[in-house]
Structure 1
């Protein structure tokens, strides 16, 4: 399986990362490190998540997630910056969650993400 580098294919990264984290068999730390630097910081609606919190978040999602569909509307990559607007429609043990997500990221020289700032809203 080829793994998209965020710098080269931000939409492919999103699809692969979500699928691997939510439904994969690999250790979440391995998946996270494939796409993000060890010092990654992910701000989601004002909540700061570091590497350890992102890994901890993946474990319960894997137990509860039954479906996760992404509809990627817009992507932009410029130098070491990326921006994506997408809708995520997911099911966690029967409950459906739909969110429109605005993601802005900073890339490391190797193409992985080192910082993400994300805002979500219900459509």
Structure 2
């Protein structure tokens, strides 16, 4: 998931600055492809972690994660046009890339360090996940 998080952020940087520089149309599309590839791998990694961790209760846990993802997908378009108007494509893409790094990398490190202890404390975690 760590390389995918880096790809996700790199895709946002690539898209933003190539769109602002008005490069050939393929350049922002390549940035979008890198972003989407990273987002897809992150989503699959999170879903696999949830299924491995919660076993019998994984459907409920996946529903909670999906709900959070849908709420984020619902709220972003509300402020995105204003973000891109105010900061233009380059800095808006950079801001989103920095947010992805600021949330994604610490989450990965914290799960690596504290994940086992959190799974042991959870009454819903699968026995094999401890």
TM-score by length of 1: 0.30
Of structures 1 and 2, the larger Rg is shown by 2
Q: Going by fraction, where is strand more abundant, 1 or 2?
A: 1
Q: Going by fraction, where is helix more abundant, 1 or 2?
A: 2
TM-score by length of 2: 0.29
Higher relative contact order, structure no. (Cα contacts within 8 Å, ≥ 6 residues apart):
2
